[in-house]
Amino acid sequence: MSERLSYPDRDCDLPFGLGGALDAAVAVRCGDVRSSELVDTVLGRMSVADADLNAIVATCPDRARREAALADHAVSSAAPMGPLAGVPISVKEAFYTVEMPTTWGLPEHKGWIATEDATVVRLLRAAGAIVVGKTNVATMLADFAQTQNELYGRTNNPHDLTRSPGGSSGGSAAAVAAGLTFLDFGSDLAGSIRIPAAFCGVYGLRPSANTVPQDGFAPPAAPPTALPPDIAWVSTLGPIARTPADIRAALSITRTSRAPQVSPKKPVRLDSLRLGVVLDDPNCAVASDVGAVLSDAVDRLAAAGVEIEQGWPRGVDPDRAMPSFGFALQRFMAAADPTSDWSATDAQIERERHTLTELRAAWARHFTGVDAFLCPVNFTAAIAHDDRPFDERTVHTVDGQRRYDEQPFWTAQPAVAGLPALAAPAGRTSAGLPVGIQLVGPKDGDELILDIAVLLAGVLGGYRSPGRASQANDDEHRSGTPA
């Protein structure tokens, strides 16, 4: 039996009925709501609803209220305002943030506070956003499917408190899904944005490599680490939100000026859209309840006029890509940790570079014939909490037990190729759990896949709050028809 979240205001699933960060920004600028009201409401939701979730691990109410008062004054005086002016947001605990702790979940760093903001935090503040809180992480960000650490404890999924919100940005996705914040920023190596977004029914973007600056995203007091340029792509930072428009706004605010972007050659429309699609693979079979949702989603897109091309890109072997991704992760971790004794020979490194070059060329060829590529985010919906040691964990699906470490198979495919990938809501299982679909674009095609995500939301429905999703699922079971 699932356990549902108790909301502080059951008559209004989201603060003031505002769906996303841009909605809130417009409401503030137009005087429909004061930033001070938004901040107080969000802080109140954090203190009440988060008792069940444990998604928010630190807040800064005094500074948030001061900044909200400044935003309200700017509105009354018709002063220029940033695109997110007056909007309360949160960021993953792993970002350096003045006046709030950065510990990466390590008890020995309890209370450590950075003296300056991470670049992402600074840019969001410059756009007028008010950083009200920080969200929970897996210990040292070292878990892709659960969010738990000795310092802050475990975060629950707002759709079912007995299940995980994913990791390592699980606090981020849970907070966004539950309406505790209007926007959050996370990090993604093996799926740490996309898996939580899928588990919680929100949008999460792994941007193209080297799009968002990483300064100030580091363990407490860690010295800057110079990574080899050929593996810098492994780590990415990206937004988690309730709408594609909010993802676009956050990316625009935080994108480095050096990051190129591929613009659509023509307006993106459903009846001219061509999508590559793979919904299952023998190397990582998708559970039948998730597969049914994804299959239905693709059928609905086809009925709306989207042209579907089935199959992996020619020259892309997903099973072969996994060891290459694992090798890159090992190189990345070793370079980031001066105490690591892992090493690779020049011949091994050169061989893997060649493999990645061929793989990325195959993807590039594929995108000359399709606009984007659709595949699962994970083979399962949100998993049950599992406190066993990592190598003893399993995933229970409707079809039986699976290995825990299988979960990044689908998120690794675009990551190893350095491609942008967006987790987007695709529907819910019969048990009411969100299912995400992964929208992959060509290199530097972040804007393109966000355009496409807007169209997909018009067909598939987009975000639903946990309260509404639960009610809709109840109605579906009572009536026997899809909600």
What are the residue ranges spanned by the domains of the chain? 15-479
CA-wise closest residue to 95 among 127, 122, 67, 129: 122
Which of the residues 35, 92, 164, 470 is marked catalytic?
92
Give me the pLDDT at residue 226, please.
77
Calpha distance 356→160 (Å, rounded): 39
Task: Give the model's pLDDT for residue 3.
Answer: 65
- What is the model's pLDDT at position 234? 94
pLDDT of amino acid 418:
95
470 carries an active-site annotation? no
Kindly report, residue by residue over 301-337, the tens digit of the pLDDT.
999 999 999 999 999 999 999 999 999 999 999 998 8
Catalytic residue at 168? yes
pLDDT at 366: 98
How many C-beta atoms lie closer than 10 Å to residue 349's C-beta?
16
What is the per-residue burial (b if ≥16 Cβ within 10 Å, else e) of 10-42? eeebbbeebbbbbbbbebbbeeebbbbbbbbbb
Number of residues that make up the chain? 483
pLDDT at 257: 77
Q: Is 192 a catalytic residue?
A: yes
Catalytic residue from among 168, 169, 324, 470: 168
Q: Are 273 and 452 in contact (CB under 8 A)?
A: yes
Look at residue 372 in the predicted model and tell me its pLDDT.
Answer: 97
CATH architecture of the domain with residue range 15-479: Alpha-Beta Complex (3.90)
Measure Cα distances from 388 to 125, 146, 245, 401 in Å.
39, 12, 39, 15
Asked if 443 and 262 count as a contact pair (C-beta separation under 8 A), the reply is: yes
Q: Which of 192, 208, 324, 470 is flagged as catalytic? A: 192
Segments of the chain scoring below 50 in pLDDT: 1, 6-12, 470-483
